[in-house]
Amino acid sequence: MASVNKIIVIGNVGRDPELRYTANGKSMVQFSLATNHNFQKPDGEWEKQTEWFRIVAWSQLAERTMESIQKGSQAYVEGRLQTRTWTGQDGQQRKEIEIIANTILRLDRRGEMAGVGTMGNGGRREMDNDIVDPDDLPFE
């Protein structure tokens, strides 16, 4: 039986992406993305709930992200969830859930998408600065 691990989020970039390199020279970028959910409480008052996501991208997608994404940008991110665990300096176990991105698209001011990139099988570039029609997205 097959399984699926896929997540899609659209939100605002909370801090400028940070580019780093592994010991073998592979590039990696990470940034935070905030999504908002508005709901009405039982007393009729509206409340906004913000959810923060840690986004990680590798190789060419990381490089393209650095060129196009900055704090305050609105972005579409598609990828998979990954849980990372480690022991902190205080000896306590830590756990973090992050999105390993395979697609990052910057939304411009008019609500259109400007391509940052997609990583496909084997790390090949599948998209490079293509415009994506928001009507093609799998949600409203």
The CATH number linked to 52 is 2.40.50.140
Is 138 part of a structural domain of the chain?
no
Please report the beta strands in 7-72, taking only residues with DSSP state E, as ranges in sequence order. Answer: 7-13, 18-21, 27-40, 46-58
pTM for this predicted structure = 0.73
Contact (Cβ atoms closer than 8 angstroms) between residue 56 and residue 99:
yes
Is 2 part of a structural domain of the chain?
no
- Count of domains in the chain? 1
Domain of 36? 7-131
- What is the tens place of the pLDDT at every residue in 71-105? 999 999 999 999 999 899 999 999 999 999 999 99
Is 92 part of a structural domain of the chain?
yes
Q: For residue 52, with 0-12 CB atoms within 10 Å meaning exposed, 13-18 middle and 19 or more buried, which class applies?
A: exposed
Is 137 part of a structural domain of the chain?
no
Is 104 part of a structural domain of the chain?
yes
Is 114 part of a structural domain of the chain?
yes
